[in-house]
């Protein structure tokens, strides 16, 4: 099986530096939703807080194509896929704790460790 596509090093650096990422699932035009983004070993991950039936996470499950938007306004087409594996999920949690380390962020970082939120971990890969 071929190696999955990866984001460029400059894009990974921009995502690593960014606190908020805009996501839009599917191909129909609609608004972007802001999510917290982390990078682990050059891979890009997000987690859903609410996992509502009409939310971005469920939309990506139905249609894995979408777009991410950097704070600069740059838009990149992506495919979403579930992230699995205890070691990877633990590394993602550590990345959230390291990146979002303010007192105000602590509640959210702890909340992302809950099994129902951990189960929503999504990886974005570049789309063709």
99: pLDDT strictly greater than 90: yes
Listed by start position, the domains of the chain span 9-120
d(CA 61, CA 109): 23
pTM over 0.75: yes
pLDDT greater than 90 at residue 29 = no
- pLDDT at site 117: 94
User: Tens of pLDDT along 44-71?
Assistant: 999 999 989 888 999 999 999 999 999 8
Q: What does the chain come to in residues? A: 128
Token digits for 15?
A: 């995502």
Q: Nearest to residue 46, comparing CAs of 22, 27, 64, 62?
A: 22
CATH number given to 9-120: 2.30.110.10
């Amino acid at each position: 099986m071929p190696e999955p596509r990866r984001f460029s090093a400059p894009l990974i650096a921009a995502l690593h530096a960014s606190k908020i990422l805009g996501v839009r699932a599917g191909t129909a035009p609609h608004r972007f939703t802001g999510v917290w983004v982390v990078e682990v070993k050059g891979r890009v991950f997000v987690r859903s807080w609410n996992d509502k039936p009409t939310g971005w996470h469920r939309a990506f499950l139905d249609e894995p194509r979408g777009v991410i938007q950097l704070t600069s306004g740059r838009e990149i087409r992506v495919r979403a896929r579930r992230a699995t594996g205890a070691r990877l999920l633990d590394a993602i949690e550590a990345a959230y704790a390291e990146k979002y380390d303010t007192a105000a962020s602590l509640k959210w970082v702890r909340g992302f460790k809950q099994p129902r939120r951990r189960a929503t971990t999504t990886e974005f890969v570049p789309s063709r």
